[in-house]
């Protein structure tokens, strides 16, 4: 019985296998047919249009420059006694850069302070004369006035002796200066003619400089001594006048004249005090400070060098902000304005752009027929250096609500531009378009397409209107 059952079961199994094999062969054939059909269609990629941004930039080349370069200008002339910074150092505004020798100015201050003490004594003497006239203490007052005259005369004699000595010093210094000046002129000619060496010339030049300085200082000493003599003479004349007023005029006249003497003495003291304050201000000017923060980009002095007021022994360069000057065309000048943001690339540092700001726009063309524009870049880390080349990109045109495709998506013939748009049945239609902004890589479609259209962006070159296609990339995000 069991054997009889085996045959029907085997037949049934073979029959079922044959049926399944037949079905499988039919499906494979259908799939093969579909694949064969797709293989005969043009393979394309599409993208779905939606509003996007496109811009066209114009790039100009320029050089980076410092935002501010300031010459350090001393207010007074003199010999440099100390230098506190070197070239390349960063300094802050108000920091001391170098110091000018203040010995001559200090001597002048000492002299003026001495004159001020004499003037104070003159004021006190005049005021005492006024008090004595008002108080009626005639004998005592006259004695004090006589004493004041005697003391003032001694001051005049002492000051005159100082002037005489100063004159001798000037004559001696001038004689030495005249001698060395002739020698210096001769050596200058010989050095220029190549007769003597540089070291021989430098030795004579040093002697000439020292002699000139000695002569100048002697003249300053004479001036100081003469000023002291003049002040002593004024004090003496005031004392004599006060005594004369007391001896020869009435009480009323004495009072008025004594008051005038006081006024004159006070005015003389004020004048000396003003000169003293000016000298102290000059003393403060011997300390030369940085006019701004930045880097010492130039240092042209050494200790013992002479500097003059108005010279520029140092230069401070502020590079916390740098600028780039470029010249733009007439087609761009009316499309930009001060305050606009631009991209700047300094290829020696990085290919990535940095954001800068238009600082100034010149509305008048220069000799080249282009328009100067200055761009400002923050440079707090000091990476950007003056002299580096930079490329500045300006937005020439921009649309934030545009249909944008790659430039090669748009085809053209002699009469029109067009793209291919995918229909729902996977055929394509030719859409004649108009274009707008073209930056060389992407282009704006201004008419002929709509939001949501699926535009063929790859494989479009050999399509025809109405042709069925095989879409290998729909451009939709998964």
CATH of the domain at 460: 2.40.420.20
Residue 324 lies in a domain: yes
Q: Evaluate whether residue 193 is within a structural domain.
A: yes
Q: What token pair was written down for 61?
A: 């080349």
Burial annotation 109-123 (CB, 10 A radius, 16+ → b, else e): bebbebbbebbebbb
State how far the Cα of 286 lies from the Cα of 307, in Å rounded to an integer.
Answer: 11
Distances (CA, A) of 107 to 81, 224, 276, 373: 17, 9, 11, 54
Structure confidence at residue 302 (pLDDT): 93
Contacts of 440 (CB under 8 A, 6+ apart): 407
CA-atom Rg of the chain in angstroms: 49
Together in a domain, 149 and 202: yes
CA-to-CA dists, residue 132 to 143, 218, 253, 255, 371, angstroms: 11, 44, 13, 9, 82
Q: Which of 370, 396, 422 is the last residue of a domain?
A: 396
Same domain flag for 279 and 380: no
195: exposed, middle or buried (C-beta count within 10 Å: 0-12, 13-18, 19+)?
Answer: exposed
In whole angstroms, give the CA distance from residue 478 to residue 471.
16
Asked whether residue 336 falls in the same domain as residue 406, the answer is: no
Q: Both 321 and 431 in a single domain? A: no
First to last CA, the chain: 63
Q: Are 275 and 228 in contact (CB under 8 A)?
A: no
- Has residue 11 been placed in a domain? no
**Domain coverage including residue 457:** 44-56+399-473
What pLDDT is stored for residue 371 in this prediction?
95
Are 254 and 109 contained in the same domain? yes
Helix/strand/coil for 452: coil
Rounded Cα–Cα distance for residues 437 and 444 (Å): 5
DSSP summary character for residue 380: T
* 333 CB-near residues (< 8 Å, 6+ apart): 361, 363, 371, 373
Domain boundary among 307, 339, 359: 307
Residues 387 and 342 in one domain: yes
CA distance 360 to 336: 10
pLDDT of residue 287: 92
Whether 7 maps to a domain, the answer reads no
Residue 86 is assigned to a structural domain of this protein: yes
Report the C-alpha gap between 239 and 241 in whole angstroms. Answer: 5
Instruction: Give CA–CA dist 57/438, Å, rounded.
Output: 10
Pair 450, 463 in one domain:
yes
446 in the same domain as 356: no
- At 38 the pLDDT is 63
Q: Please classify residue 390 by burial: count the beta carbons closer than 10 Å to its beta carbon, then call 0-12 exposed, 13-18 middle and 19+ buried.
A: buried
In-domain check, residue 35: no
Q: What is the dihedral of CA 166, 169, 173, 174, to 10 degrees?
A: 60
Does 162 map to a domain? yes
User: 281, 303, 286, 277: which is closest to 96 by C-alpha?
Assistant: 286
214/291 same-domain check: no
Is the CA virtual torsion 325, 330, 333, 335 positive or negative?
A: negative
DSSP readout, 300-325? ---TT-EE-TT--SEEEEEEEEEEEE
- Number of domains the chain contains: 4
Buried/exposed 419-452: b ≥16 CB within 10 Å, e otherwise: bbbbeeeebbebbebebbbebeebbbbeebbeee
- Give the whole-angstrom CA distance, residue 345 versus residue 389: 9
* SS3 label, residue 195: coil
Residues 91 and 177 in one domain: no
The 3-state DSSP class for residue 465 equals coil
Q: Is 264 within the bounds of a domain?
A: yes
Of 275, 307, 339, the position where a domain reaches its end is 307
Domain containing 392 — which CATH number?
2.40.30.170
- Under 8 Å CB-to-CB from 85, ≥6 apart: which residues? 91, 95, 97, 98, 296, 299, 314
Q: Which residue positions in the chain have pLDDT lower than 70?
A: 1-39, 133-139, 141, 249-254, 474-478
Q: 431 and 364, same structural domain? A: no
Q: What per-residue confidence (pLDDT) applies to 135?
A: 60
Closest CA to 235 of 266, 256, 205, 214: 266
The answer to whether 390 and 65 are in contact (CB under 8 A) is: no
Regarding whether 89 and 230 lie in a shared domain, the answer is no
CA angle 24, 28, 31 (to 5 degrees): 140
């Amino acid at each position: 019985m069991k054997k009889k059952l085996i045959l029907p079961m085997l037949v049934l199994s073979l029959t079922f296998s044959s049926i399944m094999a037949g079905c499988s062969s039919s499906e494979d054939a259908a799939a093969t047919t579909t694949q064969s059909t797709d293989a005969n269609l043009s393979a394309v990629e599409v993208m779905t249009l939606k509003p996007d941004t496109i811009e066209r930039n114009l790039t100009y080349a320029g050089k980076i420059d410092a935002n501010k370069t300031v010459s350090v200008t001393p207010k007074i002339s003199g010999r440099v006694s100390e230098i506190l910074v070197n070239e390349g150092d960063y300094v802050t505004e108000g920091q001391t850069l170098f110091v000018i020798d203040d010995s001559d100015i200090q001597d002048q201050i000492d002299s003026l302070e001495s004159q001020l003490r004499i003037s104070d004594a003159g004021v006190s003497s005049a005021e005492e004369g006024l008090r004595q006239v008002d108080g009626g203490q005639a004998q005592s007052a006259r004695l004090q006035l006589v004493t004041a005259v005697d003391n003032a005369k001694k001051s005049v004699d002492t000051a005159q002796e100082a002037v005489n000595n100063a004159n001798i010093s000037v004559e001696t210094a001038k004689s030495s200066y005249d001698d060395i000046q002739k020698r210096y002129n001769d050596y200058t000619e010989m050095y220029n003619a190549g007769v003597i060496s540089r070291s021989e010339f430098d030795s004579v030049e040093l002697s000439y400089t020292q002699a000139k300085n000695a002569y100048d200082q002697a003249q300053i000493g004479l001036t100081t001594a003469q000023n002291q003599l003049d002040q002593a003479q004024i004090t003496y004349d005031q004392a004599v006048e006060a005594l004369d007023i007391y001896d020869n005029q009435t009480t009323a006249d004495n009072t008025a004249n004594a008051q005038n003497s006081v006024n004159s003495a006070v005015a003389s003291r004020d004048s000396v005090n003003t000169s003293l304050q000016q000298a102290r201000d000059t003393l403060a000017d011997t300390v030369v400070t940085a006019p701004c923060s930045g880097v010492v980009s130039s240092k042209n002095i050494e200790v013992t060098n002479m500097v003059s007021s108005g010279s520029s022994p140092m230069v401070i360069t502020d590079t916390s902000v740098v600028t780039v000057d470029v010249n733009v065309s007439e087609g761009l000048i009316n499309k930009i304005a001060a305050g606009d943001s631009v991209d700047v690339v300094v290829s020696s540092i990085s290919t990535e752009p940095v954001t800068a700001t238009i600082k100034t726009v010149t509305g008048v063309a220069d000799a080249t027929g282009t328009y100067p524009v200055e761009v400002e870049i923050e440079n707090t880390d000091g990476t950007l250096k003056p002299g580096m080349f930079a490329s500045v990109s300006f937005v020439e045109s921009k649309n934030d609500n545009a249909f944008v495709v790659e430039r090669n998506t748009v085809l053209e013939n002699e009469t029109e531009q067009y793209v291919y748009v995918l229909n729902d049945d996977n055929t394509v239609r030719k859409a004649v378009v108009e274009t707008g902004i073209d930056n060389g890589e992407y282009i704006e479609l201004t008419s002929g397409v709509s939001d949501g259209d699926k535009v063929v962006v790859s494989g479009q070159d050999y399509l025809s209107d109405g042709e069925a296609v095989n879409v290998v990339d729909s451009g939709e995000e998964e």
